[in-house]
Amino acid sequence: MHSIPESVSEKTPAWQKYVTRLRAYWILIEDLQTGLLLVTAAAGYASGCCIDPGSPPFLVVLGSLLLAISGCTVLNMFFDRDLDSHMPRTAHRPLPAGMISPATALYFGLLLTGLGLIWSFAFDLQYRALVSLGVFLNVAVYTVWLKRRTPFAIVIGGLAGGMPALAARTLVVEQVDLVGLLLALGILLWIPSHMLTFSIKYADDYRRAGIATFPAAYGVRVTRLLIALSSFVTMSVMLWVEWQLALPGLYLWLLGGLGVALSGLTLLSILRPSDRMNFVLYKGASIYMLSSMLVLILGRF
């Protein structure tokens, strides 16, 4: 959990205040979440061709998506600042802690998002349409409209999360194809195994903040079954992607091994449910998605 001091002493050196301020902005963009989505974009790009870090298209994908994703994250924190203030794990974030004013965060988020969209608009229609759709689904539909109303909001969040990979793939192959859709679907289906475990662990926090979750609406057991189902289908979809790309057998075995490990964690979480097991599954789901994308990237070199 990120945390920053609520106040900075007047005697604090200017350079330290500056670093603290920069750290607050860094926390706003949620570096780990943004980084994972950029890796999925790199995988989408790699699925269409070999990655050359010096080539303009690859830099465009990373640059435009970094700005757009970061901007969306800041805007999400702006709209969720009242919810964050009610939950101990998020109360120390820059906005509820008063380190950054809401107006500053709003302008910062709009600036980053706007720059990302402008950059994407310099390229083909399909790419900019998908990036724009991702921003709209993430901020307007998921965060502003649905998050406080229904636990099914995570479906829209998952759709938005799949847009970077789909957009990157589409930019390279110049069409929305089966592989791109499967990549986006894999990320969409992965969201429950990632987020639902979190909603179980912090059920009291979400209830206190008034956020609709599956554990509150349908119970923990049903939620665990949904996590298991989404995990198994995600692994099947990712194997389908690797098969469609005709990757060498070694990479299929690697992906299969990752899937077996995640399946084991999923089954253990159902047979022997506990807070610790839930946390391990939460981390394991993130590691699985990151590793799967890295396997895809390596397999395309």
What is the band of 170 on the pLDDT scale with cuts at 50, 70, 90? very high
Domain presence at residue 3: no
Region 137-143: mean pLDDT is 97
- Report the length, in residues, of the chain: 301
- What was the pLDDT predicted at 144? 96
Say whether pLDDT at 243 is over 50. Answer: yes
CATH number where 262 lies? 1.10.600
Task: Express each pLDDT in 88-113 by its tens digit.
Answer: 989 999 999 999 999 999 999 999 99
Please state, in angstroms and rounded to a whole number, the distance separating the CA atoms of residues 239 and 234: 9
What is the band of 182 on the pLDDT scale with cuts at 50, 70, 90? very high
- Token duo for residue 52: 């050359």
pTM of the model: 0.91
Say whether pLDDT at 79 is over 50. Answer: yes
Q: What is the CA radius of gyration of the chain?
A: 20
What is the band of 194 on the pLDDT scale with cuts at 50, 70, 90? confident
Domain count, the chain: 1
Range of the domain at 225: 16-299
Q: According to DSSP H, which parts of the chain are helical?
A: 14-28, 31-46, 56-79, 81-84, 102-120, 125-135, 153-173, 178-201, 203-209, 214-218, 220-244, 249-271, 275-299
Domain presence at residue 9: no
- Token duo for residue 109: 């988020």
Domain presence at residue 38: yes
Domain presence at residue 11: no
Say whether pLDDT at 53 is over 60. Answer: no
